[in-house]
């Protein structure tokens, strides 16, 4: 057996477990060894039975005096009860629902038990301890030490993983080669891989397990940096059209706007226009809080591109947003003679420069013909009929071909810009410039990792004259008052959002895990909609919106809300990005603790867009310190970046878009908070690439990166 051996060939793993492993993407012995624990349980406190303290985690060692399993008829559960004894005393032990235990553990067996003693009316007993047979000289796997706890996915227990992993590590120890370049291991004083694998699965101390985690964190980040920097290098060698700044047009555009651009908008726009002038492709992320005015900046870049004879593709995450961008861009560019197409799932539209201010329906075929364009027989020039094509993912279908694509704008598409652009420019030999936009503020450490291959422009200021949104946590018992307040706002002709964390309430008959139970209590859109529309506001127009609805239905509901036909919209987080409803003044959020700070901030940004005093009202049933801390942070700050940093600090990076697809193990996620680690890995990746850009000397690294690339392609 070696590291590349498929798990099929591991004799100790049966067919059921093989399937489960595959589900987790574990195909080889190596994958299995690199399946890391999520955390550790410290069972190293081995004590005599007489020293057991209530509610304290401990390990005891003793002989089983008796053991039996009964069925409790009332609750239909198996109850296994035992007594174990050492020289200092004896204690009762109970396990629930593990009837097979009496097959494994027999009277007179010596066992280690790790867990907590609790007290009830039946006395003191060890409750559901982890067991392990053996004697005091045994090399323990499950008890009496720091034990690894693995992510409980796909029905694989930590006990089973420990049982499988230990012999594998013993057998293969000598085949594990260092995966990082030796000079880096040395320079950064990292734990060598062989030792680190042992210490991560079966740590000999907290300190050493930490060193092992540090090593693997370094390694993960190092790969990401290497990948990102190589992408950047690769990209820098491509060619794209140099689109010189049409200063007069830009000035006319700025003059045509009904408002004055903020300094931050001007600065970002200038950075983008400067990038477009170069012969190598722009690769820029425009980051700006909700409502900071990214669309105008994007429209300016598109205009410049068009006036240099090239097309712009503008891709949005949903149909609603694509449509909104279409109308907004059409309005912004109405004096500049551009043809704009809208290509979405079903309904395509077109706005011709000839038909001023008029939008027409157009067939898909026609729109695609206009997009690819045709050669003028006299001048031999390519003439395209669409200057800007706006749409959803539909834009990257094979059928859509651009005649002369110069710029790709991606709204809220995050990481995959490079991929999507690749698809968009299949048909031509120059690479279009790429502008990604996001309202998700990304803390610096994360931006360096996740967007390390992009240049960054920030719109870090909101247009003047916006009123501060009043944010409040509503206390229990003030719900009625809040509903009265909402009624008053509706009387003033304002509109209300109500956000719920989930779509449906769980079926009561379902058996739920504890985590699911707490979810089940969370407010559901359907239930809340029923309540609000029938009981609380029967006289008002209440509508509901969620992700499981058909696109058309969603669009109609959004449209009605936008056209003020609805007073209250009860929704899941689907309204999160980009929707512009200037008349909305109240954002009411149920189960606020369920959302990340950055996301809450995004919701809040949906209101207060038109100068009316607006409100963000937070409801929560969670009274933990963490919730309190987080909601306070939201109340005290309007700065998306600060909130994102805070979120990272309090919750870790798990929820940030753009981190998941790197497949960083949970245990290493925390390392993303560590800016000095991120910078170190970036430096080391740079050094390696400087010395050996093709990684000729590093076959291990090349292999790893190609796996990375595959994973990203698959997303």
Residues near ligand ADP (CB under 6 A) are: 259-262, 265, 288, 290-296, 439, 463, 578, 580
Kindly state the smallest distance separating residue 435's Cβ from Mg ion, in Å: 13
Contact 171, 5 (CB under 8 A): no
Q: Which is nearer to Mg ion, 391 or 578 (CB)?
A: 578
Q: Which does 261 bind (CB under 5 to 8 A by kind): Mg ion, ligand ADP, none?
A: ligand ADP
Kindly state the smallest distance separating residue 440's Cβ from Mg ion, in Å: 11
* Dihedral Cα 322, 324, 328, 333, nearest 10 deg: 30
Q: Which is nearer to Mg ion, 156 or 320 (CB)?
A: 320
Q: Which does 296 bind (CB under 5 to 8 A by kind): ligand ADP, Mg ion, none?
A: ligand ADP
Q: Which is nearer to ligand ADP, 340 or 672 (CB)?
A: 340
User: Under the criterion CB under 5 A, does residue 591 sit at the interface with Mg ion?
Assistant: no
For residue 209, what is the enclosing H or E element?
helix 206-236
Kindly state the smallest distance separating residue 550's Cβ from ligand ADP, in Å: 26
Q: Which is nearer to Mg ion, 290 or 695 (CB)?
A: 290
Contact 655, 440 (CB under 8 A): no
Kindly state the smallest distance separating residue 462's Cβ from ligand ADP, in Å: 8
User: Under the criterion CB under 5 A, does residue 578 sit at the interface with Mg ion?
Assistant: yes
Q: Which does 596 bind (CB under 5 to 8 A by kind): ligand ADP, Mg ion, none?
A: none
Of 61-69, 100-108, 509-517, 575-583, the segment contacting Mg ion by CB under 5 A is: 575-583
Contact 463, 259 (CB under 8 A): yes
Of 67-75, 210-218, 398-406, 574-582, the segment contacting Mg ion by CB under 5 A is: 574-582
Q: Which is nearer to ligand ADP, 147 or 338 (CB)?
A: 338
Concatenate the DSSP letters of all residues of 528-565 into one string.
Answer: HHHIIIIII-TTS-EEEE-TTS-HHHHHHHHHHHHTT-
Hey, which residues between 97 and 136 contact Mg ion (CB under 5 A)?
Answer: none
Of 25-33, 34-42, 573-581, 661-669, the segment contacting Mg ion by CB under 5 A is: 573-581
Q: Which does 181 bind (CB under 5 to 8 A by kind): Mg ion, ligand ADP, none?
A: none
Instruction: Output the 3-class SS for 317-356.
Output: CCHHHHHHHHHHHHHHCCCCCCCEEEECCCCCEEECCCCC
Report the C-alpha gap between 245 and 310 in whole angstroms. 13
Contact 323, 335 (CB under 8 A): no
CA distances from 230 to 204, 235, 346, 682, 685 (A): 38, 8, 39, 12, 9
**Structure tokens that stand for 74 in this block:** 């009332």
Contact 661, 715 (CB under 8 A): yes
User: Under the criterion CB under 5 A, does residue 443 sit at the interface with Mg ion?
Assistant: no
Report the C-alpha gap between 549 and 364 in whole angstroms. 24
Kindly state the smallest distance separating residue 282's Cβ from ligand ADP, in Å: 19
Residue 222 has, within 13 A of its CA and on its CB side, a CA count of 23
Give the Cα-Cα-Cα angle 238, 244, 247 (nearest 5 degrees): 155
Residue with smallest beta-carbon separation from Mg ion:
578
Concatenate the DSSP letters of all residues of 148-163 into one string.
Answer: EE----TT--HHHHHH
Sign of the torsion angle spanned by Cα atoms 347, 353, 358, 360:
negative
Q: Which does 293 bind (CB under 5 to 8 A by kind): ligand ADP, Mg ion, none?
A: ligand ADP
Q: Which does 291 bind (CB under 5 to 8 A by kind): Mg ion, ligand ADP, none?
A: ligand ADP
**How many chain residues are in contact with Mg ion, going by CB under 5 A?**
1
User: Under the criterion CB under 5 A, does residue 640 sit at the interface with Mg ion?
Assistant: no
User: Under the criterion CB under 5 A, does residue 605 sit at the interface with Mg ion?
Assistant: no
Q: Which does 707 bind (CB under 5 to 8 A by kind): Mg ion, ligand ADP, none?
A: none
CA distances from 155 to 24, 302, 456, 514 (A): 10, 51, 42, 15
Report the C-alpha gap between 369 and 295 in whole angstroms. 27
Straight-line distance from the first to the last Cα atom of the chain, in angstroms, rounded to the nearest whole number: 32
Kindly state the smallest distance separating residue 297's Cβ from ligand ADP, in Å: 8
Residue the block writes with tokens 């310190």: 625
* Number of Cβ atoms within 10 Å of the Cβ of 214: 19
Kindly state the smallest distance separating residue 315's Cβ from ligand ADP, in Å: 14
Kindly state the smallest distance separating residue 329's Cβ from Mg ion, in Å: 11
Q: Which is nearer to ligand ADP, 288 or 596 (CB)?
A: 288
Of 344-352, 414-422, 577-585, 669-677, the segment contacting Mg ion by CB under 5 A is: 577-585
Q: Which is nearer to ligand ADP, 85 or 461 (CB)?
A: 461
Q: Which is nearer to ligand ADP, 291 or 653 (CB)?
A: 291
Report the C-alpha gap between 578 and 429 in whole angstroms. 33
Q: Which does 373 bind (CB under 5 to 8 A by kind): ligand ADP, Mg ion, none?
A: none
Of 213-221, 327-335, 388-396, 572-580, the segment contacting Mg ion by CB under 5 A is: 572-580
Q: Which is nearer to ligand ADP, 273 or 532 (CB)?
A: 273
Kindly state the smallest distance separating residue 286's Cβ from Mg ion, in Å: 10
Q: Which is nearer to ligand ADP, 281 or 640 (CB)?
A: 640
Residue with smallest beta-carbon separation from ligand ADP:
293
Among 31, 59, 34, which residue's Cα sits nearest to residue 115? 59
Kindly state the smallest distance separating residue 412's Cβ from ligand ADP, in Å: 9
Q: Which does 580 bind (CB under 5 to 8 A by kind): Mg ion, ligand ADP, none?
A: ligand ADP
CA distances from 148 to 13, 194, 710 (A): 20, 17, 30
Kindly state the smallest distance separating residue 585's Cβ from ligand ADP, in Å: 15
Q: What are phi and psi of 576, to 5 degrees?
A: -50, -55
Q: Which is nearer to ligand ADP, 410 or 524 (CB)?
A: 410
Strands 382-383 and 374-375: antiparallel
Binding site for Mg ion (CB under 5 A): 578
């Amino acid at each position: 057996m070696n590291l590349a051996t498929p798990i099929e060939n591991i004799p100790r793993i049966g067919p059921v477990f093989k399937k489960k492993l595959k589900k987790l993407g574990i195909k080889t012995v190596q994958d299995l060894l690199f399946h890391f624990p999520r955390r550790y349980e410290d069972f190293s406190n081995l004590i005599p039975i007489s020293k057991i303290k209530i509610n304290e985690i401990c390990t005891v060692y003793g002989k089983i005096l008796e053991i039996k399993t009964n069925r409790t008829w009332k609750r239909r559960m198996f109850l296994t009860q035992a007594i174990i004894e050492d020289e200092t005393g004896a204690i009762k032990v109970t396990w629930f629902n593990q009837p097979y235990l009496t097959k494994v553990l027999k009277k007179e067996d010596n066992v280690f038990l790790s867990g907590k003693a609790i007290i009830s009316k039946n006395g003191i007993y060890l409750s559901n301890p982890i067991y392990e047979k053996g004697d005091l000289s045994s090399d323990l796997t499950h008890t009496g030490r720091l034990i690894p706890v693995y992510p409980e996915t796909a029905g694989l227990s930590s006990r089973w993983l420990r049982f499988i992993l230990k012999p594998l590590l013993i057998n293969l120890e000598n085949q594990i080669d260092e995966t990082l370049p030796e000079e880096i291991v040395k320079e950064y004083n990292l734990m060598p891989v062989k030792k680190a694998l042992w210490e991560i699965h079966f740590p000999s101390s907290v300190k050493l397990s930490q060193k092992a985690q540090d090593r693997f964190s370094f390694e993960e980040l190092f790969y990401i940096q290497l990948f990102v920097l190589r992408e950047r290098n690769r990209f820098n060698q491509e060619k794209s059209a140099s689109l010189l700044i049409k200063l007069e047009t830009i000035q006319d555009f700025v003059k045509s706007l009904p408002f004055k651009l903020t300094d931050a908008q001007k600065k970002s726009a200038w950075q983008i226009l400067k990038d477009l002038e170069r012969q190598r492709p722009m690769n820029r992320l425009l980051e700006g809080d909700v409502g900071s005015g990214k669309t105008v900046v994007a429209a300016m870049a598109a205009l410049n591109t068009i006036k240099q004879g090239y097309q712009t593709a503008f891709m949005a995450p949903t149909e609603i947003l694509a449509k909104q961008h279409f109308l907004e861009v059409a309005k912004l560019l109405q004096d500049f003679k551009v043809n704009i197409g809208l290509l979405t799932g079903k309904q395509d539209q077109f706005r011709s420069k000839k038909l001023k201010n008029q939008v027409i329906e157009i067939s898909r075929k026609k729109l695609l013909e206009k997009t690819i364009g045709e050669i003028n027989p006299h001048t031999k020039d390519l003439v395209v009929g669409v200057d800007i094509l706006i749409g959803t993912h539909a834009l990257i279908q094979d059928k859509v071909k651009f005649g002369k694509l110069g710029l790709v704008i991606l709204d809220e598409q995050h990481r995959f810009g490079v991929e999507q652009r690749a698809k968009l420019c299949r048909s031509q030999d120059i690479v279009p410039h790429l502008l990604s936009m996001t309202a998700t503020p990304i803390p610096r450490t994360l931006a360096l990792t996740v967007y390390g291959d992009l240049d960054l422009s920030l719109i870090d200021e909101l247009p003047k004259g916006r009123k501060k949104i009043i944010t409040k946590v509503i206390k229990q018992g003030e719900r009625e008052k809040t509903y009265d307040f909402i009624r008053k706002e509706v009387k003033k002709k304002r509109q209300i959002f109500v956000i719920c964390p989930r779509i449906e309430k769980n079926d009561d008959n379902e058996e739920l895990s504890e985590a699911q139970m707490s979810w089940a209590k969370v407010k559901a859109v359907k239930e809340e909609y029923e309540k609000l529309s029938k009981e609380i506001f029967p006289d008002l127009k209440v509508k509901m919106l969620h992700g499981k609805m058909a696109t058309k239905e969603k669009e109609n509901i959004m449209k009605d809300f936008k056209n003020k036909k609805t007073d209250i919209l009860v929704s899941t987080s689907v309204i999160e990005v980009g929707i512009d409803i200037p008349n909305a003044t109240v954002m009411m959020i149920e189960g606020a603790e369920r959302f990340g700070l950055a996301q809450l901030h995004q919701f809040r940004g949906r209101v207060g867009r038109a100068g009316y005093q607006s409100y963000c009202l937070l409801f929560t049933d969670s009274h933990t310190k963490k919730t309190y801390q987080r909601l306070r942070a939201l109340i005290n700050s309007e700065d998306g970046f600060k909130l994102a940093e805070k979120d990272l600090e309090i919750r870790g990076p798990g929820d940030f878009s753009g981190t998941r697809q790197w497949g960083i193990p949970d245990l290493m996620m925390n390392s993303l908070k560590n800016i000095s680690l991120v910078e170190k890995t970036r430096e080391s990746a740079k050094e390696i690439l400087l010395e050996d850009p093709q990684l000729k000397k590093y076959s291990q690294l090349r292999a790893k990166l190609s796996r990375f690339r595959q994973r990203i392609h698959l997303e």
